[in-house]
């Protein structure tokens, strides 16, 4: 099997998110964020925009992102550290919550308080998080049943508070003043019987993802629908009263860019924030200009999603959305930068940045059957159009049966790492093309440290990745085969880099990661 690895191909140094950005240096380009940031909800407070998103089975969850210009975003907080303490979220007793956890959120600022709400199939609850300081917290949480699917939290001018929720048949329910549950005897009825109707009669997805806004005395509701054989579509309804009647129309049908709402700038411009299914990298945000005609928001330029926008250019996703980490901590530093999230709830007794200063130590606490069952995998997003993630691993503390290394996490995952068998170490590449792991290649390892790398190519939804290893951090050798990445609904998330360590024979071994580095470059390879 002969391979030739060509040098990493440099993208625009600032990662302006499009290869053509060099030709339009003073304008933003779509996608605004070439990474998995689905189900966005957004508010503006003064000159600052805040956006929440979905991260499902990851902890901490419901990321809060901040921007001054709608283009350049950074993660500044999370609504919660863990959603709940149950087996499914803890990867305990054979349970998991892949593709579930917390789904689409709503974000509001009302009377000096920030509200972030979400819901979870895992627990069957609706969650309400509140804080006076959205960037620093602390957060207070209330939860109640039932689970209100894809709800939009709304404070009306008369002081009453509601959630509009559902799929197809959309129901408006009134909440108690403290948002601790449904208001006994309060408003509770279906206000739209077929939210997807403006998109046509043959729908695969009949209208969900509600986001509700009020403008010039009228209420506007944004939903997503999906005609069979067609594409994701924006549907808009408007009404003079929340209870209706509501009239609807098709809002946008181009490139499958849909689900979101609209927001204004301090200067009075309007934009729609939406996302697009982009294959294995996930669901990626777009901005679309909006103008008002006859009391309706009109999305796009002649009904199309533009490639360039009259907004400041993007400065890149590094370090606001993804970032390198040397695992060095100074007094007062956060234990982990906000770009990191754990796969499910972590066991905080089994990871450390102080046991060996300058290293992330992952210690096994139990025996697991495979990577997806393993706890304490530390993850962050991959990014498009190409990216490369690299780490260096010290295997001195591993025990027989341990497997530690660098992953690309999704149901059809891939791994490169070190396995210990009968006292010997091997660099191993594992692929799960059908959802079950297959060891593709192994190479004996005689030293205690090894460099590991995963390169991803998302250009034109190529969705392929390569794993490599190095003994000195300079000369890289591909290992195993090309990973064909696939976005799957069981995980419902774009591929993520993951640092992992799990035991297959006995707990107690540890892996030490010296650093993790991510770049907006990818490796191009030819031949097999």
Does 239 fall in a domain? no
Positive or negative, the Cα torsion across 419, 420, 422, 423?
positive
Does 362 fall in a domain? yes
Does 254 fall in a domain? no
Give the mean model confidence (pLDDT) for residues 386-401: 98
Rounded-to-integer distance, Cα 240 and Cα 262, Å: 18
Does 359 fall in a domain? yes
Rounded-to-integer distance, Cα 125 and Cα 114, Å: 20
Using the predicted structure, report yes or no on whether residue 456 has a pLDDT greater than 50: yes
Give the mean model confidence (pLDDT) for residues 381-397: 98
Give the mean model confidence (pLDDT) for residues 229-238: 97
pLDDT of amino acid 25: 60
Closest CA to 479 of 526, 422, 417, 521: 417
pLDDT of amino acid 434: 85
**Extended beta strands in 446-505, E state:** 449-457, 464-470, 477-484, 496-503
Q: What letter does residue 8 receive in the DSSP assignment?
A: P
Q: What letter does residue 486 receive in the DSSP assignment?
A: -
Task: Residue 411: give its domain's CATH number.
Answer: 2.60.120.200
β-pairing, 402-409 vs 496-503, is antiparallel
pLDDT of amino acid 191: 98
Full domain range(s) for residue 481:
341-522
How many Cβ atoms are within 10 Å of 133's Cβ, its own excluded? 10
Does 448 fall in a domain? yes
What number of residues does the chain have? 528
- Contact of 413 with 407, CB cutoff 8 Å: yes
Distances (CA, A) of 414 to 46, 63, 330, 407, 438: 44, 26, 33, 6, 9
Q: What letter does residue 404 receive in the DSSP assignment?
A: E
Does 314 fall in a domain? no
Tokens of 245: 């009647």
Rounded-to-integer distance, Cα 175 and Cα 165, Å: 13
Write the DSSP string, 28-45.
Answer: EESSS--S---S-EEEEE
Positive or negative, the Cα torsion across 140, 142, 148, 152?
negative
pLDDT of amino acid 432: 96
Tokens of 120: 């979870």
The chain-wide mean pLDDT, for the chain, equals 94
Exposure string of 469-490, with b = 16+ CB inside 10 Å and e = fewer, is bbeeeeebebbbbbbebebeee
pLDDT of amino acid 435: 83
Give the mean model confidence (pLDDT) for residues 477-488: 97
Tokens of 328: 């060095």
Positive or negative, the Cα torsion across 434, 435, 436, 437?
positive
Contacts of residue 58, Cβ cutoff 8 Å, sequence gap at least 6: 101, 341, 342, 343, 344, 379
Total domains in the fold of the chain: 1
Q: Encode pLDDT of 149-177 as tens digits.
A: 999 999 999 999 999 999 999 999 999 99
Give the mean model confidence (pLDDT) for residues 34-60: 98
pLDDT of amino acid 15: 37
Give the mean model confidence (pLDDT) for residues 451-470: 98
Rounded-to-integer distance, Cα 208 and Cα 195, Å: 8
Does 455 fall in a domain? yes
Contacts of residue 148, Cβ cutoff 8 Å, sequence gap at least 6: 119, 126, 163, 165, 173
**Alpha helices of 39-115 — where are they, by DSSP H?**
87-90
Q: pTM of the prediction?
A: 0.93
Q: Using 50, 70 and 90 to split pLDDT, how confident is the model at 280?
A: very high
- Contact of 47 with 68, CB cutoff 8 Å: yes
How many Cβ atoms are within 10 Å of 441's Cβ, its own excluded? 17
Task: Tell me the percentage of the chain whose pLDDT exceeds 70.
Answer: 94
Does 25 fall in a domain? no
Rounded-to-integer distance, Cα 243 and Cα 241, Å: 5
Tokens of 146: 């039932």
Tokens of 343: 């796969």
Tokens of 287: 């901005």
Using the predicted structure, report yes or no on whether residue 14 has a pLDDT greater than 60: no
């Amino acid at each position: 099997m002969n391979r030739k690895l060509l040098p990493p191909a440099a993208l625009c140094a600032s990662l302006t998110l499009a290869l053509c950005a060099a030709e339009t240096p003073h304008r933003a380009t779509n996608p605004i964020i070439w990474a998995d940031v689905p189900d966005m909800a957004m508010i503006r407070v003064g000159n600052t925009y805040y956006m929440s998103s979905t991260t499902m089975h990851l902890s901490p969850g419901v990321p809060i992102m901040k921007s001054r210009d709608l283009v350049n975003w950074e993660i500044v907080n999370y609504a919660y550290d863990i959603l709940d303490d149950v087996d499914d979220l803890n990867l305990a007793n054979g349970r998991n919550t892949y593709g579930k956890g917390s789904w689409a959120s709503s974000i509001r600022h009302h009377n000096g308080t920030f509200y972030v709400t979400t819901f979870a199939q895992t627990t069957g609850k609706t969650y309400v998080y509140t804080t006076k300081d959205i960037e620093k917290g602390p957060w207070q949480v209330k939860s109640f049943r039932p689970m209100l699917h894809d709800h939009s939290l709304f404070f009306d001018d008369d002081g009453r508070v509601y959630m509009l929720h559902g799929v197809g048949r959309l129901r408006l329910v009134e909440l108690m003043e403290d948002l601790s549950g449904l208001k006994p005897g309060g408003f509770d009825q279906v206000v739209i019987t077929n939210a997807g109707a403006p998109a046509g009669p043959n729908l695969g997805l009949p209208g969900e993802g509600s986001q509700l806004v009020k403008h010039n005395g009228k209420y506007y509701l944004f939903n997503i629908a999906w005609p069979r054989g067609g594409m994701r579509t924006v549907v808009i309804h408007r009404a003079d009263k929340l209870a209706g009647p509501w009239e609807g129309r098709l809002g946008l049908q181009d490139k499958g860019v849909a689900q979101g709402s609209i927001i204004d700038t301090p200067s009075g411009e309007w934009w729609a924030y939406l996302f697009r299914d982009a294959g294995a990298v996930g669901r990626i945000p777009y901005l679309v200009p909006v103008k008002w005609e006859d009391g309706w928001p009109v999305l796009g330029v002649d009904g199309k999603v533009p490639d360039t926008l009259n907004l400041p250019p993007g400065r890149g996703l590094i370090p606001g959305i993804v970032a390198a980490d040397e695992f060095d901590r100074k007094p007062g530093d956060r234990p982990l930068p906000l770009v990191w999230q754990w796969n499910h709830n972590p066991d905080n007794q089994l990871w450390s940045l102080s046991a060996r200063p300058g290293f992330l130590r992952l210690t096994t606490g139990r025996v697991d059957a495979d990577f997806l069952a393993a706890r304490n995998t530390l993850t962050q997003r991959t990014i498009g159009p190409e990216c490369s993630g690299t780490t260096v691993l010290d295997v001195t503390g591993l025990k027989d049966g341990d497997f530690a290394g660098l992953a690309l996490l999704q149901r059809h995952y891939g791994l490169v790492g070190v396995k210990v068998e009968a006292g010997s170490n091997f660099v191993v590449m594992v692929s799960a093309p059908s959802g079950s792991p297959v060891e593709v290649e192994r190479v004996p390892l005689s030293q205690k440290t090894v460099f590991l790398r995963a390169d991803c190519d998302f250009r034109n939804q190529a969705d392929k990745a390569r794993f490599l290893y190095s003994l000195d951090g300079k000369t890289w050798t591909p290992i195993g085969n090309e990973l064909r990445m696939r976005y799957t609904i069981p995980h419902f998330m774009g591929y993520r880099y993951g640092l992992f360590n799990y035991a297959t024979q006995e707990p107690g071994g540890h892996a030490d990661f010296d650093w993790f580095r991510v770049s907006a470059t990818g490796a191009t390879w030819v031949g097999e």
